[in-house]
A = this chain, B = another copy of it.
Amino acid sequence: MLTLHDNLGSGNAYKVRLLLAQLEIPFQRIEYDVTKGETRTEAFLALNPNGRIPLLVFEDGRTLAESDAILFHFAEGTPYLPADRFDRALVLQWMFFEQYSHEPYIAVARYWRHYIWDQVDGDADMERALAEKMERGYQALAVMEQHLDGRDFFVGDAYSVADIALYAYTHVADEGGFELSGYPAIRRWLDRVADQPRHVLISEDTFA
């Protein structure tokens, strides 16, 4: 059976849980508390030298890191990845957008506010850094809003792993202090994603 090295609060790990649930692929989970450095132990670094969850370990011991690489791999040959070659490139385009222009701002703002703010509240450097995260996060949301205006999903006419990649942190952006009321196309898209068959919630212990 697959083993997912996981964290139930992580949007990156949630992407993998959501796709595997929708594909009805069973897996076991090992939970890590990233706030306690549990992904930086010698044992974990032997599995993923980059010290990050999610990490997927196959039954034969092979490992695969990086949430969007895991999504693409499991989606190949399923309805969650377009058959058309150029559409697959667009899926990757949106996944790289997510990891470079979205996650470092929206996920990090959420992590700071939601998980560690009691330790850093009042720190002027953190306040300034958070303001920058918010500004860049809103820029990413503006790009998404423009693209989704008149579209149901990110690529083509169908729900794909591009949507899963971007949904993961967008649907909890409020926990980072982002206000989505001015982004109606994004809000309609969030509802469409949540309405997909076999959808699971971010903290749902799937296949438990």
CB within 8 Å of B: which residues of A?
A: 49-50, 62, 64-70, 72-73, 76, 85-86, 88-90, 92-93, 95-97, 99-101, 103-104, 143, 146-147
B96 and A85: CB pair below 8 A?
Answer: no
Known: A73-B86, A97-B50, A143-B50. A92 touches B68 (CB 8 A): yes
CB-based nearest B residue for A85: B76
Number of identical protomers: 2
What CA separation (Å) do A67 and B97 show in the bound complex?
A: 10
- Interchain CB contact under 8 A, B99 and A50: no
Task: Give the complex CA separation of A75 and B15 in angstroms.
Answer: 26
Known A73-B86, A86-B73; judge A65-B50 contact (CB<8 A): no
Let me know if A73 and B85 touch, CB within 8 A. Answer: yes
Given contacts A73-B85, A85-B76, contact A50 B92 (CB under 8 A): no
* Nearest CB on B from A39, distance (A): 13
CA distance A103 to B100 in the complex (A): 9
> Do A147 and B49 touch (CB < 8 A)?
yes
Q: Chain B residues near A76: list those with CB within 8 A.
A: 85
Contact of A65 among B68, B88, B93, B104 (CB under 8 A): B93
Nearest-neighbour CB distance to chain B for A104, whole angstroms, equals 7
Taken together as a complex, chains A and B put the C-alpha atoms of A34 and B106 apart, in Å, by 24
A100 & B97 in contact (Cβ 8 Å cutoff): no
A-B contact pairs, 11 of them (CB 8 A): A65-B93, A66-B92, A66-B96, A66-B97, A67-B96, A68-B92, A69-B95, A69-B96, A92-B92, A96-B99, A104-B104
Which residues of B lie under 8 Å from residue A90 when comparing CB positions?
64, 69
Q: How far is the CA of A128 from the CA of B50 in the complex (A)?
A: 23
Bound form: Cα–Cα A76–B66 in Å: 20
How far apart are the CA atoms of A5 and B45 in the complex, in Å?
39
Contacts of A97 in B (CB 8 A): 50, 65-66
A103 contacts which chain B residues (CB < 8 A)? Answer: 100
Q: A62-B86, A64-B93, A70-B89 are in contact. List 12 more A-B contacts (CB 8 A).
A: A49-B143, A64-B86, A64-B90, A65-B93, A66-B93, A66-B96, A68-B92, A69-B89, A69-B90, A69-B93, A95-B96, A96-B96
